[in-house]
Structures are given as C-alpha cells and as structure tokens.
Amino acid sequence: MQQEYTISAIATPVGQGGIGIVRLSGEKAVDIAQECFKPAAGGKISDYEARRAVFGYIYKENGDFLDEAICIVMKAPHSYTCEDVVELQCHGGPVVLKELLAMTYRLGAKPAEPGEFTKRAFLNGRLDLTQAQSVMDMIQARTTMAREAAANNLQGKLSERIGEMRQEILGVIAHLEASIDFPEDDIEDVALEEAEMKVEQLHGAVEDLLASAETGQILRDGLQTAIIGRPNAGKSSLLNLMLGQERAIVTDVPGTTRDSIEEYMNIGGIPLKLADTAGIRDTDNLVEKIGVEKAYSYAREAELVLAVIDGSQPLTEADDPIWHLLSQCSGKIIIINNKVDRSLEENILTAEEIRQEAAKKEVEDVYQVINLSAKQGQGLKELEEAIKNLVFAGKINCRESVMVNDARQADILRQAMVLLDQTHMTLMSGMSEDFVVIDLRSAWEKLGEITGETLDEDIIDEIFSRFCIGK
Ligand code: GDP
C-alpha cells in the first residue's frame, strides 16, 4: 500500500559527517531521484537494477553541480516502508543535505513527519507496534543491555509472547463456544474447567511480563540517580570517577557546585541519569540556596540516591540535614563512605557505624554502605555491583528475556490483568459461558493493543510523533 504522497527527510544526524543521507519514500520517490541524480555511467537511475548502489552526481534544477552521491533504489515492497524508497547518500555536510532536501521538496516530496517512515512500515504490516517502538529504543539505547532489550523486541519476541497469549484466549473461547453450540455433548463442564485453569495461567504470564516493565523502563530511560552529600564530601569526585572523565568541577572551596549537572552514564550496562547537585548545608548565599533546594527535590524524586559521606571525619550534627533528607527519599539509598584512602589508615568511620547512624536517624531503605575512594578508585566495582543487583535483583537477563519497556504497554498489561480477574469472577459466579466469552474477548482485544492490532488511529499517531524525523 502506498500512501498518497511521497515523503522526504534527512536520515542521518544533524551536523558534519562523512556521509549524509536523504531518504525518500512513496510513489514518486524514483521520479524525484531521477530529476536530481545523474548516474556517472550514464542513463537514468530507473534503468539500473533495484537495490544497487549507483554512483553519480546531483545537479540542481538550474544545472549547478551540488555533490557527488550514491543512489540506491528499493522497490516496493522490498524496502523499510514497503513503498518505493530511494536513498541519496552524499557528503554529510548540513548545507549539502539541506539543499538536497529542499530540492526534493521542490520536486514534489513532502517533509516527513517524525517517525513517518516507521509509521508507514507499521501501516504496511512490515513491523507491528512493539517492533516499531523498539526501532526508536534501538536508536536511543545508551548501553549494550538497553540495545539488547530493544533488539529482542525488534525481532518480535514481545509480539510473539503477546500473540501466544491471544491465541490461548482464542482457544478457550472456541471451546466455550462449542459447548454453547452443542450443549448435549456434555463438554460444558470440561470447557469451564479448562477456562478456569487457562485464565489463571494467563494471569500469571501477564504478571511476569509486567514485572519486567520496571527494568525495561530503566534500561530505556536511565535510572534517575541523585548524588547528595555535604560540601566537600566528594560528590563531584565521585561523579568524575563514575564517568571516567573530568566532567564536574572538583575544588577545595565548599559550595562550588552550585547548579546541577545531568549526565548519562553506563554502569555495568545500566544507564544512569545522573545529577550532581549542590552540597547540602545551611547557606545565606541565594544562588547556593537555590542549588541546595534543587538538590533536595532531585533526591526526593530519584529512583536511586547516592549519599556521599566524608569518612575521613567523624559524623557530627552538621550531617543531620543529610539524614533528614534521606529519611524523605522515596528511592533506594546507597551510602558511600568516601575518602576511605584516608579514613582506613586513621580508622575514623566504618560502614557499620554509618549503617547504625542511619538507623538511628530513621533512614530506612539503605540498600548498602560502600567504602570508597573517589580519589583513588577503590570501591567503584562494589558500587557497580550494588547498582546492578538493585536494578535486576539477579533476575533478568536482557539477552534472553522479553521485556516491556514502555508505560503504554505496561498500562495495557495492567488492564488485561483486570479483565482476566473479571473473567475469573464470572467463572466463579457460575454465570453462563456467554458471559465468560465476552470477558475473554475483551482481554483478547486489550492485549492486541500492545502490538497495534486493535488500536485507535489517534494513539498510533501519538506513538509515532515521539520518534525523530527521518526515522
Ligand atoms: P563535593 O563538594 O562534594 O563535590 O566534593 P569534591 O568532589 O569537590 O571534593 C572535595 C575535596 O575532597 C577535594 O579536595 C577532593 O580532592 C577531595 N576528595 C574527594 N574524594 C576523595 C577521596 O576519596 N579521598 C581523598 N583523600 N580526598 C578526596
């Protein structure tokens, strides 16, 4: 199926690169390419075999030479969108690409909407919705684990799992309907018993899938992490150690990290969305005060809080605001007993003492206390391990697991569970098979929303609008 108009967009990232690609999709894609591209070996691009890389030149309408290029034509349905697709690969300069793109518009192409190529692939049945969504996840993956999770979905593993569940539901419906149609055959009880067992199994399967949603979402969006601690505790040093580069400013002057720095980093395959925040202490300086307040709100909302304590000094009342803040945090807490290179020699503060103090100050949910030296690097491995354990709880293997990573998918699964609960209640109430079938049909339809088989157009548009242009 070809859409009524041909779209065009720059498919490569903005900026300079060795190669840049303008991609066209739709009925007029080849005609448009023909107008701007001349094969070096002569003739027209349509004379050449499809899917062959043809070298040539791009000329503007007035005959001016624009660039050298490789042109590849992919004929429908053997293309990403299942429509005629042309890729014009020229030099990756922003001006070259913009001029070429503008020319394709003048020749009749329309600017592609965000995600429109993938949307066409979806509408033409080349990808289902979970696969289409995983295309974006693949592009945006920040770690190998995140990429692996996306790859599984791109290959259709989530769709397969959903498909199996829906198939099961249809099987139960078929049996129930047979027992309605042939009441004399005495299969009624068997069908109802089977339905009860299957509904329970399906409920468990949906639950399992839903359990992967939190990890899936973390892999996709990053674990929102806040580093907090008193000024000079070593927050910036820890951030630098974790990032492996001098990203934050490290100084001896208390209160120099006044604003928050946000950074993605990869820790043992898990993307952390990290905020290094201003040191927490009472201050009269207005700018610093704003920074401190920001730190408080970051920490309260973060999924993971790394609380840095300067272990080379005994704990004092000045630490109370930190304990107070930690007692208000909703995420998991890892306390870093920092400067262990100094404190161990002098034996100032141990992890156990910190743990006891935390308990005394009513800070619950301390996942672990780790002895670390932000300066020399010891303890970093333990920190990585702790974070990994915390996210996966030792359960999930991204390479093998099917994972849900999207709030919409998780929401549908939750609704499907409710519908299965309802089916169970109908079964228990002894109502006739017709009612069970109605409930099961709703669950079947609901699950179909994940793969996009039963979904409104508005929702589909909304999903693709989150894509980047050119994809
Ligand atoms: P922040 O204010 O919490 O961000 O602290 P900084 O990271 O700027 O560190 C404050 C001071 O403590 C600097 O002089 C660091 O070099 C020092 N520091 C940080 N971590 C360590 C550590 O593990 N060992 C030692 N000996 N000094 C550290």
Q: What is the CATH number of the domain that holds 199?
A: 1.20.120.430
Could you tell me if 268 and 121 lie in one domain? no
Neighbours of 347 (CB within 10 A): 7
Could you tell me if 183 and 100 lie in one domain? no
227, 228, 230, 232: which to mutate for ligand 1, most atoms within 8 A of CB?
Answer: 232
Per the confidence metrics, is the pTM higher than 0.85?
no
- The tokens for 46 are 């349509």
Which residue puts its alpha carbon closest to atom 17 of ligand 1? 234
Sequence-distant (≥ 6) Cβ neighbours of residue 360 within 8 angstroms: none
Cα 394 to averaged position of ligand 1 atoms, centre (Å): 33
Which atom belonging to ligand 1 lies closest to the Cα atom of 231? 2
Minimal CA–CA distance to 343: which of 376, 306, 382? 376
Cα 374 to averaged position of ligand 1 atoms, centre (Å): 7
Cα 237 to averaged position of ligand 1 atoms, centre (Å): 6
Could you tell me if 99 and 176 lie in one domain? no
Per-residue pLDDT of the chain (471 residues; tens, 9 = 90+): 557 799 999 999 888 999 999 999 999 999 999 999 999 999 999 999 999 999 999 999 999 999 999 999 999 999 999 999 999 999 999 999 999 999 999 999 999 999 999 999 999 999 999 999 999 999 888 888 889 889 999 999 999 999 999 999 999 999 999 888 877 666 677 888 889 999 999 999 999 898 888 888 888 888 999 888 888 999 889 988 888 755 544 544 444 444 445 678 888 788 888 765 544 445 556 666 666 777 788 889 899 999 999 999 889 999 999 999 999 998 899 999 999 988 666 667 888 889 999 999 999 889 999 999 999 999 999 999 999 888 876 454 555 578 888 888 999 999 999 999 999 999 999 888 899 999 999 999 999 999 988 888 888 888 888 888 888
Task: Give the alpha-carbon dihedral of 335, 339, 343, 349, to 10 degrees.
Answer: -20
CA distance linking residue 6 with residue 83, whole number of Å: 9
Could you tell me if 121 and 158 lie in one domain? no
Which of 364, 392, 420 is where one domain is finished? Answer: 392
250 Cβ inside 6 Å of ligand 1: yes
Cα 389 to averaged position of ligand 1 atoms, centre (Å): 27
233 Cβ inside 6 Å of ligand 1: yes
Cα 322 to averaged position of ligand 1 atoms, centre (Å): 17
432 belongs to a structural domain:
yes
pLDDT for res 454: 82
231 Cβ inside 6 Å of ligand 1: yes
311 Cβ inside 6 Å of ligand 1: no
Could you tell me if 366 and 408 lie in one domain? no
Sign of CA dihedral 447, 448, 451, 452: negative
Could you tell me if 205 and 235 lie in one domain? no
pLDDT for res 350: 87
CA distance linking residue 183 with residue 172, whole number of Å: 16
CA 46 to chain centre: 40
pLDDT for res 104: 98
Secondary structure, 3-state, the chain: CCCCCCEEEECCCCCCEEEEEEEEECCCHHHHHHHHEEECCCCCHHHCCCCCCEEEEEECCCCCEEEEEEEEEECCCCCCCCCCEEEEEEEECHHHHHHHHHHHHHCCCEECCCCHHHHHHHHCCCCCHHHHHHHHHHHHCCCHHHHHHHHHHHCCHHHHHHHHHHHHHHHHHHHHHHHHHCHHHCCHHHHHHHHHHHHHHHHHHHHHHHHCHHHHHHHHHCEEEEEEECCCCCHHHHHHHHHCCCCCCCCCCCCCCCCCEEEEEEECCEEEEEEECCCCCCCCCHHHHHHHHHHHHHHHHCCEEEEEEECCCCCCHHHHHHHHHHHHCCCEEEEEEECHHHHHHHCCCCHHHHHHHHHHCCCCCEEEEEECCCCCCCCHHHHHHHHHHHHHCCCCCCCCCCCCCCHHHHHHHHHHHHHHHHHHHHHHHCCCHHHHHHHHHHHHHHHHHHHCCCCCHHHHHHHHHCCCCCC
Cα 355 to averaged position of ligand 1 atoms, centre (Å): 22
Residue 348 · residue 311 · CB < 8 Å: yes
Which residue puts its alpha carbon closest to atom 26 of ligand 1? 339
Residue 14: which CATH number? 3.30.1360.120
Which residue puts its alpha carbon closest to atom 18 of ligand 1? 234
CA distance linking residue 82 with residue 132, whole number of Å: 14
On the question of a cis peptide bond just before residue 77, with omega within 30 degrees of 0, the verdict is yes
148 belongs to a structural domain:
yes
Cα 367 to averaged position of ligand 1 atoms, centre (Å): 23
Cα 264 to averaged position of ligand 1 atoms, centre (Å): 21
Domain, as residue range, for 64:
7-128
Cα 72 to averaged position of ligand 1 atoms, centre (Å): 56
Residue 15 · residue 94 · CB < 8 Å: yes
Could you tell me if 270 and 173 lie in one domain? no
CA distance linking residue 381 with residue 457, whole number of Å: 48
Could you tell me if 147 and 76 lie in one domain? no
Which residue puts its alpha carbon closest to atom 15 of ligand 1? 234
Could you tell me if 159 and 244 lie in one domain? no
Which atom belonging to ligand 1 lies closest to the Cα atom of 251? 8
Could you tell me if 256 and 339 lie in one domain? yes
- The tokens for 51 are 């899917």
Neighbours of 174 (CB within 10 A): 12
Could you tell me if 100 and 71 lie in one domain? yes
* CA-to-CA separations, 390 to 73, 301, 342, in angstroms, rounded: 48, 17, 28
Could you tell me if 295 and 162 lie in one domain? no
pLDDT for res 284: 59
466 belongs to a structural domain:
no
279 Cβ inside 6 Å of ligand 1: yes
374 Cβ inside 6 Å of ligand 1: yes
